[in-house]
Amino acid sequence: MMSAHHETKPQLVLLGVDGGGTRCRARLADVAGKALGEGLAGPANIRHGLQESLSAVHGATDQCLREAGLGYGDCRIVACLALAGASESNTLAQEASQLPFHRVSFTSDARAACLGAHACLDGGIIIVGTGSIGWGIAAHQEYRVGGWGFPISDEGSGASLGCEALRRVLWAHDGLIPWTGLLRTLFERFGREGCGIVRWMSSARPRDFASLAPAIVEHARQGDAVACELMRSAAAHIDTMATKLRALGVPRLSLIGGLADSILPFLSHQTQGDLVPAKGDAVDGALHLARAEAACLEHMGSVADA
Amino acid sequence: MMSAHHETKPQLVLLGVDGGGTRCRARLADVAGKALGEGLAGPANIRHGLQESLSAVHGATDQCLREAGLGYGDCRIVACLALAGASESNTLAQEASQLPFHRVSFTSDARAACLGAHACLDGGIIIVGTGSIGWGIAAHQEYRVGGWGFPISDEGSGASLGCEALRRVLWAHDGLIPWTGLLRTLFERFGREGCGIVRWMSSARPRDFASLAPAIVEHARQGDAVACELMRSAAAHIDTMATKLRALGVPRLSLIGGLADSILPFLSHQTQGDLVPAKGDAVDGALHLARAEAACLEHMGSVADA
């Protein structure tokens, strides 16, 4: 009887989700790891609202199932949600019950990125995008460096670069340093008025500060003195994170995020020498964790069936 | 007839107001400068809401009149309002009509502090409180340095000090630098949790960051390495502002604001050598401007009477 009942259960499927400050990506896979469907939705950073985050997860999951030709009743979803800000929320577990998942676990986007980059082997990542964070895994220990949010942390990030650039625009405006091409370009965006920057700043979020990063990168490429100084200073912070992870025994590092390629040439030779390409991304990392959970469930199921 | 009519006009009185981010101070004086009454009300920084600011001004003025034993009908008030953020508002003039003043002019709190500190003679001030700003007057020119607001400006201020201290708390938490007494003390305020700092930061205003400054000052006094580094770094920014004002021909400087005394020992010998005590404060500066306006009105009145 137990065995017959077991065979009628809907199939276990795996869902990995990477939910960041600008978008939420999801992938559905079978327990062997074969991709069944993908989905994309809006921001899912928990710090900016748990409901918005969970609704993005829901939307991305709907897309996955549609692409896989499955309904929620056809499968039992074992999900791992890697959400930016997940390490700061105490209310995740109780809210998770509203999601149509058989099992759900949460982790941070940085940890999932690390597991994905090194296929669950020892290694570390440094994310350089709107924010910045380092994560390392070595000898069954996990380490975090930075990533506590702008302006008290996230050194070397796009938000931090944008803020430091505006500081220098105002220094030039006040006659403390000479104007450069970068500073003039940025000042023009604000109608060449210090007050324009102040007004903008009153509602600016980290991603707004980070929106200035491409101009900094571009001017650094052309040799702009201030842009190069900003990139070097950002890279020095990333070097510090890399040095720390190395000292903790993390054997290899991957640099990921929207600014990774731009900052690479400014990193120390030692950091550059430690870098390896990422094998996978945070969705892969989340799927690894979902697979481990599913294996555990199947083991428990077979024990119960025995 | 004209002359008789002139004698029945209510007396001209002067009102000087210094409205900052934490409180609003006002003083009423007769045209000879004799104080008639004082008043105190809540925050009046225009950046945080024009209505709140004007209502604080109204409240402080009510107190002045009460203390002077005057009603609004007994006098014609020539007011000068020195309000933080006044340099960024375009809507001041049109809103001023709701205030019960015969004449009203606006200026920034920094400019009024400068006029007050040097009794309208050439000189400069650097304010070091929640924010920081430099203002100088020399040979009929006026100069501003900094003061564009945290986090893109206001280097050396209490808000900036607090932010940099929290950055170092998280560095120590992540193992990047050693713990010190200051860092432990601050970390305890947040329940010894990085996430506690992140939650606090999500709604922290400049004055909240600045609320950490007294602990930094206190630990610097005891020789705490990080506290001393933070104070030296803040002082270096103030030195830069002082150097700039000196280069512009500003002959003497006064250091004012809640952190002035604490930062003084960390300033360069050159900056310290340029400092003179302030003769008066921003309320005095605003009263100077109100008196000039009243003199102009009386002159016009006497011309009309002639």
- pLDDT tens, A154-213? 999 999 999 999 999 999 999 999 999 999 999 999 999 999 999 999 899 998 999 999
d(C-alpha A9, C-alpha A5), whole Å? 7
Residue A304 scores a pLDDT above 70: no
Identify all chain B residues contacting A88, using CB atoms and an 8 Å cutoff. 195, 198-199
Residue B92 scores a pLDDT above 80: no
Nearest chain B residue to A90 by CA distance is B195
Cβ contact A145–B174 (<8 Å): yes
The answer for A 92-121 residues in CB contact with B (under 8 A) is: none
CATH fold, domain B145-274, is: Nucleotidyltransferase; domain 5 (3.30.420)
Query: Which DSSP string do the residues of A164-198 spell out, in sequence order?
Result: HHHHHHHHHHTTSS---HHHHHHHHHTTT-HHHHH
CATH number of A158-274: 3.30.420.40
| CATH 3.30.420.40 domain range(s) in chain B | 2-119+280-305, 145-274
Confidence of residue A101 (pLDDT cuts 50, 70, 90): very high
ipTM: 0.89
Closest CA to B53 of B117, B130, B108, B103: B108
Confidence of residue A89 (pLDDT cuts 50, 70, 90): low
| CATH 3.30.420.40 domain range(s) in chain A | 2-119+280-305, 158-274
pLDDT at residue B191 in the model: 96
Mean pLDDT of B161-177: 98
Is B7 in the A-facing interface, judged by CB distances under 8 Å? no
Q: Give the one of A88, A174, A198 whose C-beta lies nearest to B149's C-beta.
A: A198
CATH number of A2-119+280-305: 3.30.420.40
Cβ contact A198–B148 (<8 Å): yes
Mean pLDDT, chain B, whole residue set: 92
Nearest chain A residue to B209 by CA distance is A152
Closest CA to A149 of B166, B213, B189, B156: B166
Is A58 in the B-facing interface, judged by CB distances under 8 Å? no
Residue B88 scores a pLDDT above 70: no
The region of weakest confidence among A205-219, B45-59, B147-161, B284-298 is B45-59
CB atoms within 10 A of CB A167: 18
pLDDT tens-digit map of B135-152: 999 999 999 999 999 999
In the chain, the amino acid numbered A128 is: V
Residue A2 scores a pLDDT above 60: no
pLDDT at residue A303 in the model: 64
Q: Give the one of B152, B163, B202 whose C-beta lies nearest to A166's C-beta.
A: B152
d(C-alpha B162, C-alpha B132), whole Å? 13
Residue B269 scores a pLDDT above 80: yes
Is B163 in the A-facing interface, judged by CB distances under 8 Å? yes
Residue B281 scores a pLDDT above 80: yes
